[in-house]
Structure formats: C-alpha cells, structure tokens
C-alpha cells in the first residue's frame, strides 16, 4: 500500500510543460468570446 501512494505523490510533484494561463484570464477570454459572438449575431 505505501508504495502506491509514493507513486502518486511523485506523479503530482512533476512539473508539467506547456502554456500556463491564470484562471481569471481564461474566464475573461471566454466571456469576451461569448460577448463578441452575441454582438455579431445582433449586428450582422
């Protein structure tokens, strides 16, 4: 049993590569995209 939990801890400690985006920025971009789509439907 202890060996399995040690493997999980090691997995979560690894640094993942890739683009790091703050959650606030991601939500803001999603809301902006929704607003742009709605305005596009209204005006075009």
Distances (CA, A) of 18 to 13, 15, 21: 16, 10, 10
The rounded distance, in Å, linking the Cα atoms of 5 and 19 is: 28
DSSP of 2-21 = HHHHHHHHHHHHSPPPS---
Residue 4 C-alpha from the chain's centroid = 28
Structure confidence at residue 1 (pLDDT) = 47
The rounded distance, in Å, linking the Cα atoms of 27 and 31 is: 6
- Delimit the domains of the chain by residue range: 20-44
Over residues 2-21, the pLDDT tens digits come to 555 555 555 555 566 778 88
Q: Residue 44 — pLDDT band, cuts 50, 70, 90? A: confident
**22 pLDDT more than 60:** yes
CB-hemisphere CA count at 13 Å for 38? 6
């Amino acid at each position: 049993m202890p060996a399995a939990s040690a493997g999980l801890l090691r997995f979560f400690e690894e640094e993942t590569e890739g683009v790091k985006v703050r959650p606030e920025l991601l939500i803001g971009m999603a809301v902006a995209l929704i607003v742009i789509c709605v305005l596009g439907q209204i005006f075009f």
